Amino acid sequence: MPKDWEAAYKNGETPWDKGYASPPLAEYLTRAGVEGRVLVPGCGAGHDVRLLAGAGAEVLGLDIAPAALSQANAFAKAGNEAYLLGDFLNLPVGLHDGFDFVFEHTCLCALDPELRPAYVRSVVDALKPGGHLLAVFFNKVSNYSGGGPPHPIALSEIDDLFAEHFAFIERCVPQQTYPERPVGSEQLCLLQYPG
């Protein structure tokens, strides 16, 4: 049965929310830019959205749970950011071909693994030709027994899923992580959609 994200936010059962943005994203921004229009699917309370907006991007956070967006909207704006209620897997047509970047962090691992091809399709739909997917993939989840979310993604599956539509520009193991996610459990990838 799919997870009830709205209930999780309403009940305060959000262990993925550490109260601040993804450390691998913060690490990446110390050495490279994320510019233009950026889409953050599964943005939750918007910590990553605010980090990107504060760094100068025009950011849209998308989430399926109204309670998540209520939390996001309760924070002071960090820059040019907005939030939209919606299902990333049924991306509104008005968002197609609209983004220079999609930033992935804990959205893909929140989905049932059989939905991964649909996720890739939505990333392709969202990006302008030449646009980039910057992703912090969760490749190791401790004690995972198939009962996620989160559902980790094997490094080989990242290749299998994205290679058809994307060129891999960079991949590395981030050294800055949340304490609960040891170095090596996340993989940062920069991929380009040639169009």
Ligand X SMILES: C[S@@+](CC[C@H](N)C(=O)[O-])C[C@H]1O[C@@H](n2cnc3c(N)ncnc32)[C@H](O)[C@@H]1O
Residues near ligand X (CB under 6 A) are: 5, 16-17, 41-45, 62-65, 68, 87-89, 105-107, 110
Q: Which is nearer to ligand X, 43 or 52 (CB)?
A: 43
| CA R_g for the chain | 15
Q: Which is nearer to ligand X, 129 or 143 (CB)?
A: 143
Q: Please name the residues in contact with 189: beta carbons below 8 A apart, sequence gap of 6 or more.
A: 133, 134, 135, 137, 158, 162, 168, 170, 171
The phi, psi pair for 112, rounded to 5°, reads -60, 140
Q: Which is nearer to ligand X, 70 or 175 (CB)?
A: 70
Q: What burial class does residue 179 get, using C-beta atoms within 10 Å of its C-beta: 0-12 exposed, 13-18 middle, 19+ buried?
A: exposed
CB of 90 to ligand X, least distance (A): 8
The phi, psi pair for 18, rounded to 5°, reads -95, 0
Of 100, 105, 99, 123, give the one whose Cα is nearest residue 24.
105
Q: How far is CA 76 from the centre of its chain?
A: 21
Other beta carbons within 10 Å of 68 = 25
CB of 35 to ligand X, least distance (A): 21
CB of 63 to ligand X, least distance (A): 5
Q: Which is nearer to ligand X, 16 or 101 (CB)?
A: 16
Tokens of 189: 């990838």
CB of 86 to ligand X, least distance (A): 7
Q: Which is nearer to ligand X, 25 or 191 (CB)?
A: 25
CB of 180 to ligand X, least distance (A): 12
Q: Which is nearer to ligand X, 49 or 190 (CB)?
A: 49
User: Using the 8-state DSSP alphabet, how is residue 162 labeled?
Assistant: H
CB of 167 to ligand X, least distance (A): 25
